[in-house]
Structures are given as C-alpha cells and as structure tokens.
C-alpha cells in the first residue's frame, strides 16, 4: 500500500487515445490499497495553440499577464476532465481538481508564479473515498483567487510539491524519454542513461538547459526529500531516480553530463558610466520584473572616459 503521485506531460495525453492508454497503464500498475494522485499537463500543443490565439488579438499578449494566466489554465482543465472520464469508463472512481481546488496557493506573479503554500485537504478527502484524484498541473491561485501559472514545465513542480505536501512515498514523472541522460540523446547518439542522480546534480543540469525536469521541481524534491522517478510513458523500463545520494556504485564520475540551452538571448548595455551602483541599477530593475539573469560579463570600454560595457543573458521568453 503506497501513496503515489504520477505526473504525465502533454505528449503523454496529446489525444483521447493516449489518455485512455494512460488510464489503462495506471490501473494495470496499481496495487491493492494504493492511493494514486495524477498531475496532468495540457494536451499536446494546447498551450502553444492558446498563445497563438492570444497573439491573434495582440502582438504582445504577455503584457496582460493575468489574462494570459486566465487563458492558459484552461488547457489543463480539458485534460484532467477527460482523464477522469477515462478512469470512470474503465470502472475506477476518479475526480478531477484544478490546482486551486487541490490547495495550490501561489504568489501573484502571473505567468511565473511560485508556490507559497499547499493545503491538500480536498485531495486527502477524495483519496479516502477511493477516488484516483486527477489534478491540473502548472497552476494555482493567489490570495485574491486569481489563477496563476508556474512557468514552462510547471506541472513538474506541481507534482513534486503536491507529493511533498501529501507525504507521498514517491513521485513519478512520465515523459517522452525514458530517463535522464548524460547528454541530449537526440543529439548525442551514445549518451548514457543514468540509473540515479542526486538532487544537486539534477538541479545543476536543469538550470543549464536539460529540459527533462524544471529546476524548481528538483528544488521541491530536495526540500521534501521525495524520490523522483523520471520514466517513459511509452515503455515499462525503469528510468532515473533523483534522490539525496546514491545507493549504488554508480557515483565515481567526475562529470555527470553535458547540458545545453538554445533558448538564450544575449543583451549588451554599451557605454555606461563605470561608477558604483550602476550594476545594481540594471539588475535590480530586472529582478523587480521577475527576470532571471544567467551569465554576466563586464568589460572596460574606455579607461580615460571611465565607461564600461555590460553583457548578460536571459531566457528568450523574457527578451521582450
């Protein structure tokens, strides 16, 4: 008997056929007495399609961040309702809950929200009734009740945070790859799949561009000390376990893997006064706009005139 949180991404639930296959797989693996919580993303390219709809209204829809969250949270509601129907069709009691219904509380930073509290009382109540609980990932609500999304990959964070709040035995992340590799297997053909990796190593790889996990979800796993099993939706092979430390001898690598990120924009601020406080002025403004800065390079342009150049990188989504 175990309490298990299972997260399925958009490619896993892209069609109604795939949704039925997910439901059948979960039921085939369910042991007597197990309590199952599902966290689900929007179907396939739904989020991208919703963004395109908004771009049909305005070239810069993200200037209206609250309305974008109101729009984007509808994608997960479609997939959770269909998956709950799939379970019921197969004879398994189930219920769908939005992020706020599941007790997911966030700050008020729309489109880039952070989880501030989780009170999953409703989830416990539905599990006690014998339901499989299907929760919308990627979303919560702020103190005003407004919908807030957690950024790209936020369903991973929803799943791990919910697993921690529920004191689950494990959190399983199902995706279109069968684990964490030493490099992107689509580019490096002989990349090695890792049986285990630590939270710290996975966090570093995620921050450097490894798209298999969102960095915040790894942080949540470490905070709650919840083992995270990254595995494939389409095979039954074991995946990669993300945990505090290794349980096997697979730990003697000086380098665990190589990550890359193509969604990076470089910004150069040229000819600014080389005076104390100028860097703070630039980066505090970015911080106030909730924009993360990665690499920073400062170089003297002209010693006599005491001016400098400041170059830094941000995610392309933050470029505008």
11, 175 in Cβ contact below 8 A?
yes
Tell me how far apart the alpha carbons of residues 217 and 150 are, in angstroms, rounded to a whole number.
11
Specify which residues 40 forms β-bridges with: 8, 136
Tell me how far apart the alpha carbons of residues 84 and 20 are, in angstroms, rounded to a whole number.
10
63, 101 in Cβ contact below 8 A?
no
What does pTM read for this prediction? Answer: 0.83
Tell me how far apart the alpha carbons of residues 268 and 122 are, in angstroms, rounded to a whole number.
49
- The string of pLDDT tens digits covering residues 1-22 is 899 999 999 989 999 999 999 9
Residue 90: how many CB atoms within 10 A of its CB? 13
Q: Chain-wide mean pLDDT for the chain?
A: 90
Tell me how far apart the alpha carbons of residues 160 and 177 are, in angstroms, rounded to a whole number.
18
What is the DSSP track for 160-222? Answer: HHHHHHHT-SEEEEEESSSSEESS-TTT-TTPPEESEEEHHHHHHHHHTT-TTS-HHHHHHHH
Instruction: Give 249's pLDDT tier (boundaries 50, 70, 90).
Output: low
- The string of pLDDT tens digits covering residues 206-233 is 877 777 788 888 988 898 989 999 998 8
For domain 264-318, give the fold. Alpha-Beta Plaits (3.30.70)
Percentage, residues of the chain above pLDDT 70: 97
Compute the average pLDDT of residues 67-79: 96
**pLDDT above 60 for 236:** yes
**Would you list the domain boundaries of the chain?**
3-175, 264-318
- The string of pLDDT tens digits covering residues 88-126 is 999 999 999 999 999 999 999 999 999 999 999 999 999
Q: What is the pLDDT of residue 58?
A: 95
In the chain, how long is the greatest CA-to-CA distance?
79
CATH ID of 3-175, from 1.10.287.3510, 3.40.1160.10, 2.60.40.1120, 1.10.3720.10: 3.40.1160.10
Give the residue carrying structure tokens 């993360």.
292
Instruction: Give 204's pLDDT tier (boundaries 50, 70, 90).
Output: confident
**pLDDT above 60 for 278:** yes
């Amino acid at each position: 008997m175990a309490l298990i949180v299972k997260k399925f991404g958009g490619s896993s639930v892209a069609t109604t056929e795939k949704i039925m296959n997910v439901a059948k797989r979960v039921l085939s693996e369910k042991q007597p007495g197990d309590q199952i919580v599902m966290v689900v993303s929007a179907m396939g390219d739904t989020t991208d399609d919703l963004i395109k709809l908004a771009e049909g209204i305005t070239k810069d829809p993200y200037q209206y961040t609250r309305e974008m969250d109101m729009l984007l949270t509808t994608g997960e509601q479609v997939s959770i309702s269909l998956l709950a129907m799939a379970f019921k069709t197969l004879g398994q009691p189930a219920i769908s809950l939005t992020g706020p219904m599941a007790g997911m509380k966030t700050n008020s930073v729309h489109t880039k929200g952070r989880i501030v509290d989780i009170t999953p009382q409703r989830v416990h109540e539905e599990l006690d009734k014998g339901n499989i609980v299907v929760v919308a990932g990627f979303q919560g609500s702020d103190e005003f009740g407004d919908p807030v999304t957690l950024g790209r990959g936020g369903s991973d964070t929803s799943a791990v945070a919910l697993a921690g709040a529920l004191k689950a035995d494990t959190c399983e992340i199902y995706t279109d790859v069968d684990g964490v590799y030493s490099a992107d297997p689509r580019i490096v053909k002989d990349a090695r799949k890792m049986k285990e990796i630590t939270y710290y190593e996975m966090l570093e790889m995620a921050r450097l561009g490894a798209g298999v996990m969102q960095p915040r979800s790894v942080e949540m796993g470490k905070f709650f000390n919840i083992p995270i099993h990254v595995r494939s939706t389409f095979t039954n092979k074991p995946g990669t376990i993300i945990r505090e430390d290794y349980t096997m001898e697979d730990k003697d690598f000086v380098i665990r893997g190589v990550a890359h990120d193509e969604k990076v924009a470089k910004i150069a601020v040229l000819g600014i006064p080389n005076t104390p406080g100028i860097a703070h002025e630039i980066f505090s403004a970015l911080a106030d706009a909730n924009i993360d800065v990665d690499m920073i390079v400062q170089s003297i342009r002209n010693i006599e005139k005491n001016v400098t150049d400041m170059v830094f990188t941000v995610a392309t989504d933050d470029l505008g």
